[in-house]
Structure 1
Amino acid sequence: MGLAAALNTGKTSLFASQKSIEVAGNNIANVNTEGYSRQNVVLGDIPSLEFGGFFVGTGVRVNNIEREYDVFINQQLLDKSQELGTEDAKSTPLAELERVFSVGDENLATEIDRFFDAWQELSTNPSGEVERDIVIQRGELLASSFNSLARDLDNVRSNINDTVASEIDDVNLKLNQIAELNTQIQNIEANGKSANSFRDQRDLLLQELTYTLGVQSYEEPNGAINIQLPGGLPLVQNGTALQLEATPRGEDLTLTLNIGESSFEVKGDNLGGKFNGLFELRDEFIPELKQNLDLTAYEMVQTVNSLHAQGVGLDGSTGVAFFNNPGNHTTQSYVDPDQATAFSAGDLSIEVDGVANTVAFAGGSLNDLADTINTAALGVTATVNEQDDGTFVMVLRPDNAGDSVQLDTSAVGGSYEAPEFSMPNISDLIAVSIRDTSKVAAGNSSAPGDNTNALAISALKDEDTINGEDTFVSFYGKMAASVGIEAGQNRLAQSGAEDSLTQLKNLRDGSVGVSIEEEMISLIKFQRGFEASAKLLSTVDELMVTVINIKN
């Protein structure tokens, strides 16, 4: 002990103050580094030694350098990042859908009004060539509006697929980086040290992945973090990262996760964050809009064609469809086509190319219903087809291509809902099928002044044609309203998530972030400690010189 012990004490104090200054300087240098957590030097005294009957301390040592970390705030950040990712992803497609389903002066509803108004004008002059030509032109513009809306919906879906495909590589890169950081953290902390910078990097990557995929994570005792999708499929296990793959399937895109030699399809309900928002729009919201658009086009084609086929043109033609009738008439999906109690007994109202018939149905399964329609031999063929998801639909196909088909099955509802028909993708394909103005059936005869059919078709404008409760215009209004409501809710949720995330980041910065003022105070404190340690060493050195001189 003695002066040598004092010299060692001064040396350890000098080293501890130096290390503390380095850490404070590093904190100040990273004050603007995203995701950086304030680091602190953990000091501990060196065990005391007995000297002259007393235990005297022998200095200080740096036990560790730890980072500030708040588990609760960090978890809240991850939760809000996932929520914001979902809403951010929806904002751009919904803004595009708002443009598509415009509520301004020029939209599908406007063209529907103008089309029926053209028939009303024709009724005032049934023989007029100009009025007949306007009816055809308005029909073409209406069909073009349907086609344009359908293309726009397809484009939004395509853009969503492109967005997902463009981000897969970045997601896989982040998964690989987290796996590598897991390995580095394990190696460092196995030796009793803290991998502070690596943990900060990993937390930032995890927050970005949560924003994109809504991943869930949990930490192992060895310091590694394991990551999985909300549905439970693993993404990162210790130092191993699995890879997501975007696989084209027709016009769509699916996500698959490769685990060994097995591949698992990742659907929207197994995702969170940005991808969940994109897939929710692509697989649920947009298909519903497309289905409603197809229903509107289908009812337009069937009702107009049914009345037009009953009328007579100036050239004596009859049975002519105004719109073409592409594709097949398809019901909703059913689970079991052979369930005997599916439908109750009742009359089927079937109209083919303007000719109405009533067919008695004794009740039974979906297959029984198809057999009854085929036995009646009314100009349509019914088949029951199995779909990819294992459900079944009934498809009506006119024996003569282009014939309009109207079928009312509301009287046969049993344990299954009565069939309701539509034409998939008819909004893409609808077009006017006549070009000769003399074939426009304004009346029920070829008499020049007969306007009965034009009046009947123009009256469709105000009839509750769709689902028995909506006109064509009001149903479009519901579609546009659903888009507007969804977009409004998205903007509100997005703003709320952004505000919450900002508050949480501020809370994190206040709790574990770097404060310049605090670091400056610490720097002054460590500077004074360093100066005092240096003074101690200088004093001990002088004392040792004095002792040596006395001895000499």
Structure 2
Amino acid sequence: MGLAAALNAGKTSLFTNQKSIEITGNNISNVNTEGYSRQKPVFSDFPSLNFGDFFIGQGVKVSGVVRDYDVFVSEQLLDKNQQLGSEDAKSTPLAELERIFSVGDENLATEIDRFFDAWQELSTNPSGQVERDIVIQRGELLAAEFNTIARDLENVQNNINDTVRSELDAVNLKLTQIADLNQRIQNLESTGQTANSFRDQRDLLLQELTYSLGVQSFPDAAGAINVQLPGGLPLVQSGTALQLEAVVQGDDLKLELAIGNSRFDVSGRNLGGKFAGLLEIRDQFVPELQQDLNKTAYQLVQQVNSRHEQGTGLDGSTGIPFFQNPGNHTSQGYASATSDYFTGGTIALQVGGEDHSFTLDPASGPYSLDELASAINSATGADLTATTSQQGDGGYALVLTPAYDLANNSPLSVQVDLSALGTTGGASVPEFSMPSMANLMAMALQNPSQVAAGSSSAPGDNTNALAIAALKDEKAVNGEDTFVSFYGKMAARVGVEASQNRLAQTGSQDALTQLQNLRDAKVGVSLEEEMIALIKYQRGFEASAKLLSTVDEMMATVLTIKQ
């Protein structure tokens, strides 16, 4: 048994070192493979046998191949991938918004200044044909600038929808691949084998999904990874993957997840990563800019029209709006249309230049939004219709719809002052705007002779031109800002958001790079270490071969003796 045992020990050592060299060679060949983790052989000896008074070993074997893995670093990588995905997603639309709300020489503020400067020039020569033409031209250019910005903001939202829709197939494919890898890993490891390569592939897919969706993952006892959205909705359960769907509703796009016969909205806290960043810009930041842009356009149209309608053109015309009047005037939202919000007071209403002011008796109050609408209808008759309308957020708004002025091809102008209206329960008085005013802003006046430069048609009367030119410096928006300064606030908000995004993006990228370097140092392939291991296994292989050669010579000697 002695020489046979030595021969077997040499054979197992030879095969073990050969297998170790193969594992090391695989590590070296995958040194540049993304997500690859270094693999190591696990050695164990064969059970020793009792031979006389001694236990003699029977050699060595590779009992397994393990991969280096650091749970802490892996979790940190997933967390930073989510943050980077969100900031990366915001960078492109924010860069576009910076272009739209430019702070250079040519922007909306420039057009507003030029518009009011044209009225100032008209005041120096109220009867001048050139000056009147320039006023109309500047009005057209200003309306076109508002239209362009409104369309650009819509394009930003549409581009975000296109991005989400285009990337959804890739996300669903990764979910399916993770479910497939779960099954492969479970099938392999249930037989006692290792699935190191499959685990590396799954970890890489998890990082990519975390970047896109901010998913969370939890291992189970069988070796599978269960994946869910940040809000808890499941995406992958063992070998089963669910699919996200893009549902188009008009111009809007929503993400939904079907679980059995139920469908769940995927938004808000249910999302993270890149998709969360994109939808945050689409659903929060851009709508805020649209609201402020519409508010600016609405106030500018209201203020200019109010003064222009009070003036007189060269042809004696009066009561003519300069810009197209809004079709609907919509207040801010209230929680209910029937709850009591207003205690009474004076309501100053002017429709088409005609006064419709009235007083709500405090003794008969308080009044609800519906009751306020009814009181306005009673006072204005056919000139104005007041209704309460439920908004998309579930609240109720007061909507004023003026009659259409066929002579001027425009809705009647509306001036509303509710500052004297008392309120209760912390409610605020209705303040009106038009949700799509910037997009619909257009000229109502085309005839230069109807430009109302004065309060009369007398030559040299420039009082109205001066009044409109003075709007340039009035705090007409929210009672706090001029039109130009309010635009400056919008541009500054975009600039600050973009700057913060760049800082956060750089910080997340640096942190991710550091973590990736830490991961490579801990579990990645080091060529120096692999070369050392290769030399060690080579020497072991050579020694094993020498052992076999020596035992062979000894066996030949024994056979010679017997002859």
Q: Which residue of 2 aligns with 1:549?
A: 560
Which whole-Å CA distance do the structure 2 matches of 1:170 and 1:255 have between them? Answer: 15
Q: Kindly provide the amino acid, as one letter, of the partner of residue 403 in structure 2.
A: D
Q: Contact 1:347–1:360 at 8 Å: present in 2 too?
A: yes
Q: Which residue of 1 aligns with 2:418?
A: 409
Deviates more, 1:354-363 or 1:275-284: 354-363
Which whole-Å CA distance do the structure 2 matches of 1:516 and 1:299 have between them? Answer: 69
Q: Kindly provide the amino acid, as one letter, of the partner of residue 386 in structure 2.
A: A
3-state SS of 2:457 partner:
coil
Q: Contact 2:357–2:379 at 8 Å: present in 1 too?
A: no
Deviates more, 1:203-212 or 1:240-249: 240-249
Extract unaligned runs of 5+ from structure 2.
405-409
Q: In the alignment, does 2:381 pair up with 1:370?
A: no
Which whole-Å CA distance do the structure 1 matches of 2:327 and 2:72 have between them? Answer: 57
Q: Which residue of 2 aligns with 1:172?
A: 172
Q: Contact 2:327–2:402 at 8 Å: present in 1 too?
A: no
Q: In the alignment, does 2:50 pair up with 1:50?
A: yes
Q: Which residue of 1 aligns with 2:258?
A: 258
Deviation track 1:237-258 (CA, whole Å, cap 9, x = no partner) reads 1111111111211112111112
Which whole-Å CA distance do the structure 2 matches of 1:408 and 1:304 have between them? Answer: 16
**Residue among 488, 491, 495 paired with 1:477:** 488
**Residue among 378, 391, 394 paired with 1:390:** 394
3-state SS of 2:61 partner:
strand
Q: Contact 1:321–1:404 at 8 Å: present in 2 too?
A: yes
Q: Contact 2:85–2:211 at 8 Å: present in 1 too?
A: yes
Q: How does 1:407-446 map to 2 (within 5 A)?
A: 407-411=416-420, 412-415=422-425, 416-446=427-457
Q: Kindly provide the amino acid, as one letter, of the partner of residue 390 in structure 2.
A: E
Q: Kindly provide the amino acid, as one letter, of the partner of residue 353 in structure 1.
A: G
Q: In the alignment, does 2:502 pair up with 1:491?
A: yes
Q: How does 1:61-100 map to 2 (within 5 A)?
A: 61-100=61-100
3-state SS of 1:61 partner:
strand
TM superposition shift of 1:377: 1.6
3-state SS of 1:306 partner:
helix
TM superposition shift of 1:541: 1.3
Using structure 2 for the length normalisation, give the TM-score: 0.96
Deviates more, 1:127-136 or 1:275-284: 127-136
TM superposition shift of 1:496: 0.4
Extract unaligned runs of 5+ from structure 1.
none
Which whole-Å CA distance do the structure 1 matches of 2:258 and 2:45 have between them? Answer: 53
Q: In the alignment, does 2:447 pair up with 1:447?
A: no
Q: Contact 2:43–2:64 at 8 Å: present in 1 too?
A: yes
Q: Which residue of 1 aligns with 2:547?
A: 536
3-state SS of 2:443 partner:
coil
Which whole-Å CA distance do the structure 1 matches of 2:270 and 2:303 have between them? Answer: 42
Q: Contact 1:321–1:402 at 8 Å: present in 2 too?
A: no
TM superposition shift of 1:387: 2.7
Q: Kindly provide the amino acid, as one letter, of the partner of residue 32 in structure 1.
A: N
Q: Which residue of 2 aligns with 1:286?
A: 286
3-state SS of 2:509 partner:
helix
Q: In the alignment, does 2:359 pair up with 1:348?
A: no
TM superposition shift of 1:499: 0.5
Q: Contact 1:327–1:424 at 8 Å: present in 2 too?
A: no
Which whole-Å CA distance do the structure 2 matches of 1:355 and 1:462 have between them? Answer: 27
**Residue among 502, 506, 516 paired with 1:505:** 516
Which whole-Å CA distance do the structure 2 matches of 1:410 and 1:55 have between them? Answer: 102
- The alpha-carbon distance between structure 1 residues 430 and 424, as it changes in their structure 2 partners (threshold 3 A), is same
The Cα RMSD (Å) is 1.2
Q: Kindly provide the amino acid, as one letter, of the partner of residue 58 in structure 1.
A: Q
Which whole-Å CA distance do the structure 2 matches of 1:153 and 1:390 have between them? Answer: 24
Deviation track 1:343-394 (CA, whole Å, cap 9, x = no partner) reads 2322222232334453223332111211121121263211001234432111
Which whole-Å CA distance do the structure 2 matches of 1:381 and 1:369 have between them? Answer: 12
TM superposition shift of 1:62: 1.0
3-state SS of 1:256 partner:
strand
Q: Kindly provide the amino acid, as one letter, of the partner of residue 129 in structure 2.
A: E
3-state SS of 2:477 partner:
coil
TM superposition shift of 1:268: 3.6
Which whole-Å CA distance do the structure 2 matches of 1:122 and 1:490 have between them? Answer: 45
Q: Kindly provide the amino acid, as one letter, of the partner of residue 343 in structure 2.
A: S
- The alpha-carbon distance between structure 1 residues 408 and 269, as it changes in their structure 2 partners (threshold 3 A), is farther
Aligned residues: 551
Over the matched positions of the two proteins, sequence identity in percent amounts to: 67
Deviates more, 1:48-57 or 1:80-89: 48-57
Q: Which residue of 2 aligns with 1:327?
A: 327
3-state SS of 2:135 partner:
helix
3-state SS of 1:226 partner:
strand
Q: Kindly provide the amino acid, as one letter, of the partner of residue 521 in structure 2.
A: G
Which whole-Å CA distance do the structure 1 matches of 2:101 and 2:143 have between them? Answer: 16
Q: Contact 2:83–2:508 at 8 Å: present in 1 too?
A: yes
Using structure 1 for the length normalisation, give the TM-score: 0.98
Q: Which residue of 1 aligns with 2:407?
A: none
Which whole-Å CA distance do the structure 2 matches of 1:524 and 1:480 have between them? Answer: 64
TM superposition shift of 1:551: 2.2
TM superposition shift of 1:260: 2.2
Which whole-Å CA distance do the structure 2 matches of 1:344 and 1:118 have between them? Answer: 44
3-state SS of 2:112 partner:
helix
Which whole-Å CA distance do the structure 1 matches of 2:21 and 2:419 have between them? Answer: 83
3-state SS of 2:432 partner:
coil
Q: Which residue of 2 aligns with 1:36?
A: 36
Which whole-Å CA distance do the structure 2 matches of 1:506 and 1:233 have between them? Answer: 32
